[in-house]
Structure 1
């Protein structure tokens, strides 16, 4: 580059590869949800952290409404998302997994509307988080990884071997 200015439109990873990377993490997190006993999924916590069902619901809330917001700039209020209100959350592991799968389909369907140029668009996610489409999606992925790590701690303290972190397919 002649003037040492970072050009954000250069591609370091293709959109398809980014989607596959994210969905690989989501597949692994789904297996973590499956590994929990039903009761502990909704009630168990360590050190004051939220139960894993609430953490999984946060991932769902960011991914589903978040993808919609990125495309339409119509954002739900962050405080109104279901993971902030247990009355709006699924009540069983099966319901949580079904919702997880529905959001996976939403991500896959909406992804076709993303372009390399669109990834640099500035956004104010959920009315409070400044960034670009790209940085917001990377945040969604980071959030999934962070909370899945908490799930691993929960499973280990319950005496349950978590899925191998490298098996994302």
Structure 2
């Protein structure tokens, strides 16, 4: 296999580009949280789906703790039902804190780790890359549900393709 500047020609995206891709999605999700009226963030549902704050709790329980497992090799407790004060501003603060932690943890992942097989939260086996892909895909999935909620409330959701 040929290499150019120590990067395999089969590599499509660098770890730095993957992080930026993920953080772009996180910025859109943050704007989605901001778009919700306080009451609707905690109570609005359609068709048996959870309120968006519950989905955000899940996303917070996966991203930073999952990266901690990847970086430190220790099992993290999956806690998507943590105590909070029922204030949207708290969720925005937690989101921002997790975003910073993701950046710090990401810097500690070695490129060769992305192909290693790991088990997250004691039960989900896959490569580091597939786990991170799941983090991103799961966030997009829940944000799409939130878009349905926002539209049902007469609120235009953030443009999903504007990731800055």
Same fold, TM exceeding 0.5?
Answer: yes
Aligned with 1:104 (options 99, 106, 129): 99
Query: Residues 79-158 of structure 1: matches in 2 within 5 Å?
Result: 81=79, 83=80, 85=81, 88-158=83-153
Q: Please say if 1:19 is aligned against 2:19.
A: yes
Structure 2: distance between partners of 1:114 and 1:12: 18
- SS where residue 117 of structure 1 aligns? helix
Structure 1: distance between partners of 2:67 and 2:84: 19
CA 1:9 to 1:117, structure 2 compared with 1: closer, same or farther past 3 Å?
A: farther
Deviations 1:122-162 (A, max 9, x none): 11111111101110000000000000000000000011100
Over aligned residue pairs, what C-alpha RMSD do you find? 1.6
What TM-score do you get using the length of structure 2 for normalisation?
0.91
Instruction: Count residues with an aligned counterpart.
Output: 158
- SS where residue 160 of structure 1 aligns? coil
CA 1:43 to 1:131, structure 2 compared with 1: closer, same or farther past 3 Å?
A: same
Alignment-derived partner of residue 168 in structure 1: 163
What TM-score do you get using the length of structure 1 for normalisation?
0.88
After the TM superposition, which segments of 4 or more aligned residues of structure 1 sit over 6 Å from their partners? none
Alignment check: 8 A CA contact 2:75 2:122 kept? yes
Alignment-derived partner of residue 4 in structure 2: none
Unaligned runs of 5+ in 2: 2-7
- Of 67-76 and 98-107, the range deviating more from structure 2: 67-76
Alignment-derived partner of residue 5 in structure 1: none
> 1:115: how far off?
2.1
Deviations 1:29-74 (A, max 9, x none): 0000000000110111111111101111111111111110111222
- SS where residue 109 of structure 2 aligns? coil
Alignment-derived partner of residue 5 in structure 2: none
> 1:100: how far off?
0.1
